[in-house]
Amino acid sequence: MHLKIKAYAKINLSLDILGLRPDGYHELRSLMQSVSLADELLMQPAPELSLAIDNSDLSGGEDNIVIKCLRQLQRETGTDKGAEVALRKIIPLAAGLAGGSADGAAALAGANQLWGLDMSLEELSCAGARVGSDIPFCLRGGAAVVGGRGELLEPLAPLDFWLLLVKPPVSIATAWAYHAFDAAGAPSGQGTERLLSCWRKRDLQGIAGALANDLLPVARAAYPEIGCILDDIAGAGALGASMSGSGPTCFGIMPDRERAISGCHLLAEKYQVYLCRAVRQGIEVIKEDVK
């Protein structure tokens, strides 16, 4: 069996940090949305685990989240089956888009099929949560309110809209952003509740006006270009703009396809821009050859 799987990036329309947990992680409440920007994984059965990546900035070794997820699955199920994985990396690295978690989620779902494990989404989520906080969301995808450390999901009715993502030429480590938030002693917001009331009314303009991210002040203080990018996204016709996750990627919600395309052309003169749509899944098996 050969599988070709799309692993979709996510953005945080809101990110409330509710406090520090005893395990050192932060208690979150976030409205997350999968977007059409995606990596691609090819998987086939093999005696061992191996990972080839078309990006030399990433290691294909035991420290890669794909291999970590597959090892976790081997441990939890007791299987000694392996897989040959080839990863085509499109989602920018360390960008606040959960690119690594999306790849890990795709690997878990792929191995579940390749190895005939018959595990439920919940079981795969539990295995994934032990490897990375965003993996449970990436497995399910679409739109959801995420709680806990990232493992509690409340799926939402889907909403279709167009977005522009702008990736500044810097990387932000997630752990750094959370530590900076703690050090700043910043109060956390209530962004998710406001956003949810607009989401339930299917009010895209209201959603775009209620975007919120508790990590934005610390990221913008360290990288002032983030503030300029948010202004430029608004100037390119967005209904509203914010930063995703721990950044530095910023996004704008666009009123329609035409204005998303024209805004994309405008921003592309200065920035690395991605034209995207909201999508209804986190991973998608797009080709399956059974031999």
Q: Who's near 275: CB < 8 A, 6+ residues apart?
A: 162, 163, 164, 260, 261, 264
**Which of residues 6, 10, 26, 220 is near ligand C5P by CB under 6 A?**
26
For the chain, helix, strand, coil in percent to 5 are 35, 30, 35
* Active-site residue, from 10, 68, 81, 167: 10
Instruction: Spot the catalytic one: 16, 39, 103, 134.
Output: 134
Compute the distance between CA of residue 259 and CA of residue 18 in angstroms, rounded to an integer: 36
- The nearest distance, CB 100 to ligand C5P, in angstroms, is 8
Q: Least distance to ligand C5P from the beta carbon of 102, Å?
A: 12
How many helices and strands (H and E) does the chain possess? 10, 12
134 annotated active-site: yes
Nearer to ligand C5P, 92 or 132 (CB): 132
Question: Which residue's structure tokens are 């395309």?
Answer: 261
Using CB under 6 A as the binding rule, whether residue 175 contacts ligand C5P is answered as yes
How far is Cα 106 from Cα 6, in angstroms, rounded to an integer?
Answer: 7
| Cβ-contact 4, 40 below 8 angstroms | yes
Q: What is the DSSP letter of 257?
A: H
Report in angstroms how near the CB of residue 214 gets to ligand C5P at its nearest.
11
With tokens 């002040």, the residue in question is: 217
Strands 162-167 and 272-277: antiparallel
* 22-30, 103-111, 160-168, 207-215 -> range binding ligand C5P (CB under 6 A): 22-30
Pick the closer one to ligand C5P by CB: 25 or 59: 25
Residues 131-150 that bind ligand C5P (CB under 6 A): 132-134, 149-150
The smaller minimum CB distance to ligand C5P, of residues 150 and 252, is found at: 150
Helix (H) or strand (E) holding 128: helix 121-129
CA–CA gap between residue 248 and residue 186 (Å, rounded): 19
Q: How far is the CB of 40 from ligand C5P (least distance, A)?
A: 21
Q: Does 174 bind ligand C5P (CB under 6 A)?
A: yes
Q: Is 214 a catalytic residue?
A: no
Closest CA to 246 of 40, 84, 8, 10: 10
To ligand C5P, the closest distance from the beta carbon of 73 in angstroms equals 17
184 binds ligand C5P (CB under 6 A): no
Name the residue nearer to ligand C5P (CB basis): 25 or 231: 25
- Which residues contribute to the site for ligand C5P (CB under 6 A)? 25-26, 28, 132-134, 149-150, 174-175, 178
Enzyme catalytic residues? 10, 134
